[in-house]
Structures are given as structure tokens and as C-alpha cells.
Amino acid sequence: MSPARGPERDAPHVFSVEEAAALLSRTPALLRAWLDPLPPAWTEVDEGVGTWSAYDVVGHLIHGERADWIPRVEHVLEHGASKPFEPFDREAMFEASKGKSLPALLDTFDALRSENVARLRAMSLTEADLDRRGRHPEFGAVTVRQHLATWVAHDLTHLAQIARVMAKRYDIEVGPWRAYLSVLSWK
């Protein structure tokens, strides 16, 4: 039987900066608790050529903190849609993370995320600010609200990706239980 649906469950989804900040601020601690100090067999496993390990994802999240989320909000507030965002290099972490330990990357991510969540909260964005439009180089017009909601969904996407990649390490070893482990069939 499904749970009863109350008014709060039937309400439309409404973006909230504070709710977003609450989730975003937890990602670094979650990653640290999950990944440090796991051996590289867990943190460097990927799904093959062109895929990312947990280590790679942390590096990607760091690059996003530096070049995407808050910088693009500030860009929209300053330029609106008159000047498009700089393209984002989704794979910049491969070069930027070279030679760095996972604990060092986690420290960097934690510091950058803390700073960016504080900057987000300090912006005191109004509903009008959230509706302001910027210009994405691929998607065209996007709002600050969409961009910030994407930041949250981006974190959750990469957490799910890490779970999937790590679970697939034991894909064969789980034997017949694979039929009940949906994480092993995610793409």
C-alpha cells in the first residue's frame, strides 16, 4: 500500500535557495565519509574507456565549484543574457587532478563548496533574481533558478554514479542476487 498523500506531497515542486544550500553543503562530508580512506580498488574503479571513477568525479566537482555554479550565477546577475557563459570543460579534472591524492581532492572540494554555499546564501537572491535569464552556450536561455536546481541535481547524479560504478565492481560476484540489485543495471 502506498503512503497517504497529504497537501505537502501534492504541492508543486518549488525551488528554494535554502533547501538547495542545505543539500549542497552536505555533499563534501558525505563523500569524505564514503570514500576516505577506501583503497584505490574502490575509488579508482571505472566502467571502462570514457567513464569516470569516484576519484574523477571528485575532481569534476572541484572544477564545477571553480568554473560553473557560483561564477555563472554572478555572470547572469552582471550580464543577463547579453553575454553567454564560457563553455565548461566537463573533463578538465583529468589534467587538474593529476598527482593529487583523493584526501587532498576531498579537502579542496570541501573548502570550495563551503565558500560557494556561503556566497550563495550571502547573495540573498530574490524571486526576480531567480527568474533572471542568462545564455548557456549549448541550451540558450536559462534562468538562475534552473541553474541552481541543476547544481543540486548534478550532485545527486554524481553520487548515484559513484554508487553504480562501485557496485559494478562486484557485478559477477553477487551471483544470482544480481536480479534484485538495480544499481547493477543502471546506465
Mean per-residue pLDDT over the chain, rounded = 94
Which residues have a Cβ under 8 Å from the Cβ of 161 and sit 6 or more positions away?
52, 57
**Per-residue model confidence (pLDDT) at position 2:** 46
Over 50: is that where the pLDDT of 93 sits?
Answer: yes
pTM: 0.92
Reply yes or no on whether the pLDDT at 4 is more than 60: no
Mean pLDDT of 37-61: 97
The answer, yes or no, to whether residue 9 has pLDDT greater than 80, is no
Distance CA 171, CA 24 (A): 30
* Pair type for strands 133-136 and 140-143: antiparallel
Which band of pLDDT confidence, cut at 50, 70 and 90, is reported for residue 186?
Answer: confident
User: Which domains does the chain show, CATH number per domain?
Assistant: 17-36+50-168+179-185 (1.20.120.450)
Question: Cis omega (within 30 of 0) on the bond before 37?
Answer: yes
C-alpha cell at 131: 527568474
* 88 neighbors 38 (Cβ within 8 angstroms): no
Cell reading at 116: 560557494
Please give the pLDDT value at position 187.
76
Distances (CA, A) of 97 to 41, 68, 107, 162: 18, 17, 13, 17
Q: In the predicted model, is pLDDT for residue 7 greater than 90?
A: no
Which residues pair with residue 143 across a beta bridge?
A: 133
Mean pLDDT of 38-43: 97
DSSP string for 84-135: PPPPP-TTTHHHHTTT--HHHHHHHHHHHHHHHHHHHHHH---HHHHT-EEE
Q: Is the pLDDT of residue 77 over 50?
A: yes
Strand partners, 177: none
**Integer angstrom CA distances of residue 125 from 2, 11, 18, 19:** 37, 22, 10, 13
